[in-house]
Amino acid sequence: MARRRRRARLPVAVAALVAVASTTAIGGAPAGAAATAPERPTIRYTEYGIPHIIASDWEGLGTGYGYAAAKDNICTLADTYLMVNAERSRHLGPEGRTSPGQNQNTTTNLHSDLYFQRIKDDGVVERLLARPAPDGPEPQVEEAVRGYVRGYNRYLAETGAANLSDPACRGAAWVRPITEMDVYRHAHAEIIMGSVDPLLD
């Protein structure tokens, strides 16, 4: 896809209890609850469309973030998960162009797939995840990622790929539920592609 890739990162901190124009409750959280964090996350949007998540734990925070991220950017995110799973050629053709890093359309889908398939075959992400913290992910990160996957998949299940508002991926076979490994592969790619991108070919 020839479009600017917008980054989606796990939150470090979340501002809550803000003036809101609209509220989306995830998993039945009361829409008016603002004094204390609800048991399930609540997404509140400012007048500029910025989501603020209220949650009682990291997993709930991840769930709200995943839902909001999918709602706002599902085509970009689905495209990223397609890339890090080395499946762009299968769905979008080997000669299409992609941007694994910060530059735009820097390589073909085929070259991108070869690179990311090598990452998968090598098991580098799995080895990094197997390390104990702090070399591997902290428990809070694992909880947030688990929640993120739940929130993303919940949005997709509720909306359906055929009903997405963005025509860039509406009804596309490559828009699918994600796994925790998809998210970790995305994070790994974000970290390394700033320097690898120009050398990928």
d(CA 17, CA 1): 37
User: Domain of 132?
Assistant: 59-199
Q: Does residue 73 lie in a domain region?
A: yes
d(CA 108, CA 100): 10
Both tokens assigned to 63: 């769930």
Contact yes or no for 143/178 (Cβ under 8 A): no
Give the pLDDT confidence score for residue 16 in this predicted structure.
29
Q: Does residue 85 lie in a domain region?
A: yes
Measured in residues, the chain has a length of: 201
Q: Does residue 190 lie in a domain region?
A: yes
- Indicate if the alpha-carbon torsion angle 82, 65, 25, 50 is positive or negative: negative
Q: How many domains does the chain have?
A: 1
Q: Does residue 29 lie in a domain region?
A: no
| pTM of the full structure | 0.79
Q: What is the DSSP string of the chain?
A: --SPPPP----S----S---SEEEESTT--TT--SS--SS-EEEE-TT--EEEE-SSHHHHHHHHHHHHHHHHHHHHHHHHHHHTT-HHHHH-TT-EE-SSSSSS-EEHHHHHHHHHHHHHHTHHHHHHHSPTTTS--HHHHHHHHHHHHHHHHHHHHH-GGG-S-TTTTT-TT-----HHHHHHHHHHHHHHHHHGGG--
One-letter identity of residue 97: R
Give the pLDDT confidence score for residue 118 in this predicted structure.
95
Q: Does residue 28 lie in a domain region?
A: no
Q: Does residue 165 lie in a domain region?
A: yes
Give the pLDDT confidence score for residue 39 in this predicted structure.
59
d(CA 72, CA 57): 23
Mean pLDDT, consecutive 10-residue segments, the chain of 201 residues? 40 28 42 47 89 92 95 94 96 87 75 94 96 94 96 96 95 97 94 77 76
Terminal Cα distance for the chain, rounded: 18
Q: What CATH code is carried by the domain that includes residue 147?
A: 1.10.439.10
Q: Does residue 47 lie in a domain region?
A: no
User: Between 58-84 and 109-122, two packed helices, what is the crossing angle to 10 degrees?
Assistant: 120
Preceding peptide of 134 cis, ω within 30°: yes
Give the pLDDT confidence score for residue 83 in this predicted structure.
94
Q: Does residue 100 lie in a domain region?
A: yes
Contact yes or no for 83/120 (Cβ under 8 A): no
Give the pLDDT confidence score for residue 26 in this predicted structure.
57
